[in-house]
Structure 1
């Protein structure tokens, strides 16, 4: 029997689940579908850094301001989906002191709280820090457990009437005039959906979904490696996130969990987000560079390794250099492409998923004549204060992944490496 719905959301990562939640809370009938388990594409394969915005403060002030705002919102609504660790941007001997100063000043301009520490004071907070750390800038970074975050958003959407279908890939879209009339689902559902509006939140796969509606969305998938390690010399439970205070490059982030640290990452463009080669040099580079900040990780025991694919939007061929592509998000109204009832939400960061979802839901509601405002910034996620309940959501939606596999307990061993 055909599924009738106001909005079909394609893609069950953080942005798709957040959009489904936002729309359901505004009273719309929503159907969320993903070709696999929730968060399986990119969200659960990240390094899990909840950005304060400091990483982008001097290069993208607007994006940095968005990060600090959403970081504060997540601190209020996400509970055990987020761990408030704080963060340090560390300047090593030989690093450009002017860059440190520019970042500190830019953070002040944006409104990101900072505190400057001398090297010895930084080592007092993180004893394993390199003796070559000359000074550090304390910022309000945190750690996200993406599996929990995505599953909690989906659970709240479902509590407000949304249908959540996992392992249900969109196989075809049928156009009638300037509208998507139906979408055919395969997998476990094997049915047809008739929706008044379609949201393409498929991340690195957004181009493929858009192509089903004869729309071009130019994505540049970009892989990065993460290595989780453990060593007796580390104290992850009390560590802040560590960032190298220099222009973003390979191996400049260390994200602490409870008894492991995640080292990241690299940036390599790929042609296919499903089929891509990986390279040993990435593993070596990440360990070596992160080890300059935190020496014990250079030879620490390897717990697990995974690659993720960033959903970078690159409509201009001339700007397709991965480090130079904006990490901001883009909301594409396909009315301009003669498909009146479809939008794609692309780019962005895990930290800003809720703002991305709000912008998307605003556009959908405008098109469908719905006046209800967004409430997701003020409404706590279900299970936020109960890790066991959050982990039950993760298991139910098959949302587990390598990013937080050491923290999230689903009763199964998750291995999506």
Structure 2
């Protein structure tokens, strides 16, 4: 079967579905193709933190402001896709107090609400917090339920005319001069499309999709482990207030918490080691904040692969640097000699919290190329099913979008 579409979005994570939603709301004919079920990549295999911007306040104030702004928008439009838990940055006795003060001052300069409390007050608020915590800082972090967020974006795109195609891997592309002329989708679809424009939002696989199109996108993917353990009653997200390192975040769910994470380069985002030391180190380091997690029952363990952009990593480097997103317009010849491609944009990097902003910037470019005069409305439009967890979970099932991050939450209240 052959078909035409104004825009083909490749990638069914939060960035791809966010782009499809944004374009569909602007009246653009969109098809989204994902090689597996939705949320199969980094979005559904994250720790699920809704950033307030505090983690990056001192290293990247502009990125931190974006996180704060998008955090507020998601609380308005995403309903049961997020949990408003607050966050607590904790300083142990061995942690550098100057780092704590630098972060506090940076947050205040940006406008991130903070409240500093002593260790005793923090332990009163968080039972079981380590005795060695000397002081802590409250910030407006939260928790994302990524399977729901991705599925809700896909459902809104579909409701506005988009085709959402899970299990539809891109198997080949054909060019006609400076343009992509045809894209074949395999899997459950087995269809060739003739898109007017193509958006490469394939996350850690963006380099492979770009190669099919005859262009180059240099990626530096890194893996990170997450461990979900049984622990009831934790309210805020816990962050270790030190230079970002392994095992410095604990994300609360209902009766479980997610411990994370590591950062190890991988050569192939589909084929990489999963090392036991990452699990043990993450648990041990998280236990320095909340000792009970050391002996808590482990429910599930998973790795995610971050879609990091090589040139940014090479320039800025260093764990904990706020990774911005990059919108790569392939209309110009690349320095490496890859083909000029007039109808392709790749979007890489970024964070789950800022997906909507990434989608808006990408949709702006696509609409400009297509001559579509329509403004973005995603910041003011509530996601479908936002106030109903059962409706959101139905979307997850519809698009085969269950990721491991929130497997203990999605669908848990359904009757048999």
In structure 1, distance between residues paired with 2:102 and 2:380: 33
In structure 2, distance between residues paired with 1:315 and 1:142: 30
Name the structure 2 match of 1:277.
273
Name the structure 1 match of 2:238.
242
Aligned residue for 2:308, secondary structure, equals strand
Kindly report which structure 2 residues correspond to 1:18-37, keeping only aligned pairs within 5 A, or say none: 18-37=18-37
Aligned residue for 2:346, secondary structure, equals strand
Whether the 8 Å contact between 1:217 and 1:315 is mirrored in structure 2 is no
Name the structure 1 match of 2:293.
297
Whether the 8 Å contact between 1:220 and 1:320 is mirrored in structure 2 is no
Whether the 8 Å contact between 2:243 and 2:320 is mirrored in structure 1 is no
Aligned residue for 1:91, secondary structure, equals strand
Aligned residue for 1:365, secondary structure, equals helix
Aligned residue for 1:293, secondary structure, equals coil
Name the structure 2 match of 1:203.
203
Q: What displacement does 1:315 show?
A: 2.5
Kindly report which structure 2 residues correspond to 1:315-334, keeping only aligned pairs within 5 A, or say none: 315=311, 318-319=314-315, 323=319, 326-334=322-330
Name the structure 2 match of 1:192.
192
Give RMSD over aligned pairs. Answer: 1.4
Aligned residue for 2:181, secondary structure, equals strand
In structure 2, distance between residues paired with 1:322 and 1:137: 24
Q: Report the TM-score when normalising by structure 1.
A: 0.96
Aligned length: 408
User: 1:358-389 deviations in whole A, cap 9, x for unaligned?
Assistant: 00000000111111000000000000000000
Name the structure 2 match of 1:66.
66
In structure 2, distance between residues paired with 1:132 and 1:41: 37
Name the structure 1 match of 2:226.
226
Bigger shift: residues 250-259 or 321-330: 321-330
Kindly report which structure 2 residues correspond to 1:16-415, keeping only aligned pairs within 5 A, or say none: 16-231=16-231, 234-236=232-234, 239-315=235-311, 318-319=314-315, 323=319, 326-337=322-333, 338-409=340-411
Whether the 8 Å contact between 1:395 and 1:410 is mirrored in structure 2 is no
1:86/1:318 Cα in 2 relative to 1: closer, same or farther (>3 Å)?
Answer: closer
Q: Report the TM-score when normalising by structure 2.
A: 0.96
Aligned residue for 1:219, secondary structure, equals coil
Whether the 8 Å contact between 2:63 and 2:322 is mirrored in structure 1 is no
In structure 1, distance between residues paired with 2:292 and 2:248: 15
Q: What displacement does 1:322 show?
A: 6.0
Q: What displacement does 1:320 show?
A: 8.5
Name the structure 1 match of 2:11.
11
Aligned residue for 1:250, secondary structure, equals coil
In structure 1, distance between residues paired with 2:117 and 2:322: 30
Q: What displacement does 1:278 show?
A: 1.1
Aligned residue for 1:117, secondary structure, equals strand
In structure 1, distance between residues paired with 2:276 and 2:410: 28
In structure 2, distance between residues paired with 1:292 and 1:19: 40
Whether the 8 Å contact between 1:53 and 1:63 is mirrored in structure 2 is yes
Whether the 8 Å contact between 1:394 and 1:410 is mirrored in structure 2 is no
1:125/1:254 Cα in 2 relative to 1: closer, same or farther (>3 Å)?
Answer: same
Name the structure 2 match of 1:415.
none
User: 1:108-166 deviations in whole A, cap 9, x for unaligned?
Assistant: 11111111111111111101100111111100000000000000000000000000001
Whether the 8 Å contact between 1:314 and 1:320 is mirrored in structure 2 is no
Q: What displacement does 1:259 show?
A: 0.4
Whether the 8 Å contact between 2:228 and 2:259 is mirrored in structure 1 is yes
Q: Which runs of 4+ in 1 moved over 6 A?
A: none
Aligned residue for 1:212, secondary structure, equals helix
In structure 1, distance between residues paired with 2:207 and 2:107: 34
Whether the 8 Å contact between 2:179 and 2:342 is mirrored in structure 1 is yes
In structure 1, distance between residues paired with 2:313 and 2:122: 42
In structure 1, distance between residues paired with 2:90 and 2:353: 22
